[in-house]
Amino acid sequence: MSIEEKVIDESIQGQATMVENKSGSGKKLYLESYGCQMNFSDSEIIASILSENGYATTRNVDEADVILMNTCSIRENAEQRVRNKLSQHNKRKKQNPGLVIGILGCMAERLKKDLLEQEKLVDLVAGPDAYRDLPNLISDVGGGQKAVNVLLSREETYADISPVRLDKGGVTAFISIMRGCDNMCSFCVVPFTRGRERSRDPESIVQEAKDLFERGYREVTLLGQNVDSYRWNITKKGEIIDPEKEVVNFAMLLEKVALVNPLLRVRFSTSHPKDMTDDVLITMAKHRNICDYIHLPVQSGNNEVLKRMNRGYSVEWYKDRLDAIRRIIPEAFISTDIITGFCGETEEQHQDTMELMKYAKYEFAYMFFYSERPKTLAERKFEDDIPEDIKKRRLNEVQELQVELSFDAHKRTIGKVCEVLIEGLSKRSEDFLVGRNSQNLTVILPRENHKPGDYVNVLIEDCTSATATGVVVND
């Protein structure tokens, strides 16, 4: 992921986004997004729905008529950050009583009416499947009512809504291919906040990729909580729903999107180790424009812990998947997610995680200490018994190890030439550009006459544990 995408990690500070409205009626919306890529992608759907209804977004919160916060519940501190921000917004409301404040996304779904009734912090609450109802909800608030819609759906995929692209770069975009999650990992709140898993019509996905390419975009990332269980026209048990229609699994979808244009790069997130098939890897190897990068969250390197986490795979299985990646796509970079201090984790089990990290030679990792979430399986079944200082010390240890592993992975690229898609100006200097190679390594290069959206061949000359630098060759 680029530096920019790494910023779009869970529980970062909110990002405000801006888009013109379509009717010019002049109502101003301040839309703030927290959480995962899925939430940022949803914000583009929200902006689209509201722009059709006359709302222009603004980056200046002081001129807003409506403030919407698209929130995340994944860890306690993600929610705390939203609450802090919410109380700041509430101070604005004292000066401007007509201001509408709404909570959307995962926290809205988790806390439902509590946010309105007990905490009295907001006027509007809308869950992830209720965004089509936002114009009505906002007008209910205008009429003096509190508005709430947290109904989860088994069908909603917003397939027909053309997202308003909020990323200013115009080179890379997210495409949601499915919603919800059926996995019930014991630590995770997502199945409760996002509901049942459902896949989006492949035609609408391919069409969205085509539209993006025509508008100059050069990279799409297909998004789902578990992309490997994408399925169209076939049930989980393998029964075909409509014999007249095509059956599409994730490998097939990936191929369809790759065929849109060889100049359109394709990425995806997140793969689940229990479901990732060789089929997907073979499809990746077959198409040059499917990037050589896999995010394969492991969470822990110990079988007992994985069992308590209800992840559905063993360390041996996970290593077999790593070996398959190395065999089929030898150049691939692999990244992961790790949780330290899960219920009952011993010092030895923590060491097992570090051993697995070394085996995998991860290029990047998102690392967290365990945060108990209400209603999850782990909250009901296990004691959150690892003291916070130990959770944090273990987190420090995995972070330090990861810095070494990242640096090692990047050092192996020095002296090699790779193709980089330029995304924008480097944050440090206007004389440099930033882009990524197929393996998702962030590469900084001299600006010269290149521009965002260009592909260039770069000789890697130097690196840190976060990025590489190089010069353009033979173009």
Residues at the site binding ligand F3S, with contacts judged by CB under 6 A = 10, 35-36, 38-39, 72-74, 105-106, 189-190, 193-194
Nearest to 349 by CA among 295, 296, 385, 403: 385
- Could you say which of 89, 165, 179, 373 contacts ligand SAH (CB under 6 A)? 373
Number of neighbours of residue 279 by Cβ within 10 angstroms: 15
- Residue of closest CB approach to ligand F3S: 35
**Nearest distance from residue 209's CB to ligand SAH, in Å?**
22
DSSP 430: T
Sequence-ordered list of residues with C-beta below 8 angstroms from that of 171, at least 6 positions apart, any chain? 216, 217, 218, 219, 421, 422, 423, 424, 452, 453
The residue type at 65: D
Burial group, residue 415, by CB count within 10 angstroms (0-12, 13-18, 19+): exposed
* By CB under 6 A, residue 191 contacts ligand SF4: yes
**CA atoms of 68 and 90, how far apart (whole Å):** 12
The residue type at 361: K
Q: Under a CB-based contact definition with an 8 Å cutoff, are residues 182 and 191 in contact?
A: yes
- Could you say which of 51, 58, 157, 226 contacts ligand SF4 (CB under 6 A)? 226
**Nearest distance from residue 420's CB to ligand F3S, in Å?**
29
Q: Strand pairing of 198-199 and 178-179? A: antiparallel
x/- binding map, residues 247-276, to ligand SAH, per CB under 6 A? -----------------------x-x----
Q: Which is nearer to ligand SF4, 190 or 472 (CB)?
A: 190
**CA atoms of 48 and 321, how far apart (whole Å):** 39
Q: Under a CB-based contact definition with an 8 Å cutoff, are residues 213 and 264 in contact?
A: yes
Q: Which stretch binds ligand SAH (CB under 6 A): 88-96, 130-138, 281-289, 364-372?
A: 364-372
Q: Classify the C-alpha dihedral 2-72-179-159 as positive or negative.
A: negative
* By CB under 6 A, residue 371 contacts ligand SAH: yes
**CA atoms of 257 and 253, how far apart (whole Å):** 6
Q: Which stretch binds ligand SF4 (CB under 6 A): 42-50, 170-178, 186-194, 408-416?
A: 186-194
Q: Which stretch binds ligand SF4 (CB under 6 A): 51-59, 179-187, 348-356, 380-388?
A: 179-187
On the question of a cis peptide bond just before residue 270, with omega within 30 degrees of 0, the verdict is yes
Q: Which stretch binds ligand SAH (CB under 6 A): 93-101, 183-191, 207-215, 438-446?
A: 183-191
Q: Which is nearer to ligand SF4, 103 or 185 (CB)?
A: 185
Nearest to 422 by CA among 391, 401, 445, 400: 445
**Nearest distance from residue 183's CB to ligand SF4, in Å?**
4
Binding partner of 191, given ligand SF4, ligand SAH, ligand F3S, none, CB within 5-8 angstroms per partner class: ligand SF4
**Nearest distance from residue 189's CB to ligand SAH, in Å?**
7
Residue with tokens 């945060």: 371
- The DSSP string of 91-108 is HHHHH-TT-EEEEEHHHH
Q: Which is nearer to ligand SAH, 341 or 435 (CB)?
A: 341
- Could you say which of 66, 130, 188, 260 contacts ligand SF4 (CB under 6 A)? 188
**CA atoms of 8 and 16, how far apart (whole Å):** 12
Q: Which of residues 111-170 bind ligand SF4 (CB under 6 A)?
A: none
- Could you say which of 368, 394, 410, 444 contacts ligand SAH (CB under 6 A)? 368
x/- binding map, residues 252-281, to ligand SF4, per CB under 6 A? --------------------x---------
Sequence-ordered list of residues with C-beta below 8 angstroms from that of 199, at least 6 positions apart, any chain? 157, 177, 178, 224, 230, 231, 232
* By CB under 6 A, residue 185 contacts ligand SF4: yes
Residues forming the site for ligand SAH (CB under 6 A): 10, 74-75, 187-188, 190, 225-226, 270, 272, 297, 299, 337, 339, 368, 370-371, 373
Residues forming the site for ligand SF4 (CB under 6 A): 181, 183-185, 188, 190-191, 225-226, 272
